[in-house]
């Protein structure tokens, strides 16, 4: 599934999964496909503050560097050391082991500013799965 139904999305192709007051953030399947082979990931350290839609880090593919934006504001509680060591996880499992950071959410109301799976599908020009 290239746009899972249990996530929220930004127009800049990040996804977020909110669980209690912790949000897990990554980039979408579409984003990793556009980037191509990811070879380097730069992420803020634990305790850093991030602001919704402001720069969160950088994902570099063989060809280019791309900014990653925070889909939600808060404090970084964890960065995924596995993707720093093995950046290809971003390509292989963008919604799984390829997640980037966990954020202690400052304002859950911000989720309302993100795209639903249906809206994100429309945003990337993907047709909804049949029966949806």
Partner 1 sequence: MTAVETLRRTPLYAEHVALGARMVPFAGWEMPLQYPTGIVAEHRAVRGQAGVFDLSHMGEVYVRGARALDAVDRLVSSDVAGLRVGQARYGLLCNERGTIVDDVIVYRVEPETVLICVNASNREKDVAHMRAHLDRGVGLDDVSLETALIAVQGPRAAAILASLAAPVAGGSLESVAPFGVVGANVAGERAWVARTGYTGEDGFEIFVAWDRASRPWTRLLAVGRDRGLAPIGLGARDTLRLEARLSLYGNEIDETTGPIEAGLGWTCKLDKEFIGRDAIAAAKERGPSRRVVGLVVDGGVARHGLAVVKDGREVGVVTSGTFGPTVGKNVALAYVPVALSKIGTEVAVRIREREVPARVVKTPFYSRKEKVGAE
Give me the residues that bind partner 1 (CB under 8 A), please.
36-37, 39-40, 42, 58, 60-65, 88, 91
Distance separating alpha carbons of residues 54 and 9, to the nearest angstrom: 15
Q: Are 44 and 50 in contact (CB under 8 A)?
A: yes
Residue number, 7 or 101, with CB nearest to partner 1: 101
Cβ 87 to partner 1, closest distance in Å? 9
Residue number, 33 or 107, with CB nearest to partner 1: 33
Phi first, then psi, for residue 34 (nearest 5°) are -65, -40
Cβ 29 to partner 1, closest distance in Å? 14
Cβ 88 to partner 1, closest distance in Å? 8
Residue number, 66 or 97, with CB nearest to partner 1: 66
Distance separating alpha carbons of residues 109 and 72, to the nearest angstrom: 10
**Contact partners, residue 65, CB within 8 Å, separation at least 6:** 58, 59
């Amino acid at each position: 599934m290239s746009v899972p139904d249990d996530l929220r999305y930004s127009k800049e192709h990040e996804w977020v999964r909110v669980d209690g007051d912790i949000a897990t953030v990554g980039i979408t399947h579409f984003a990793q496909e556009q980037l191509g082979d990811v070879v380097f990931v730069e992420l803020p350290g634990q305790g850093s503050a991030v602001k919704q839609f402001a720069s969160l880090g950088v994902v570099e593919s063989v060809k280019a560097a791309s900014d990653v934006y925070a889909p939600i504001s808060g404090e970084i509680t964890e960065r995924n050391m596995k993707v720093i060591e093995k950046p290809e996880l971003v390509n292989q499992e963008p919604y799984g082991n390829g997640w980037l950071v966990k954020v202690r959410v400052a304002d859950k109301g911000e989720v309302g500013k993100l795209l639903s799976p249906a809206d994100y599908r429309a945003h990337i020009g993907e047709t909804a799965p049949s029966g949806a």
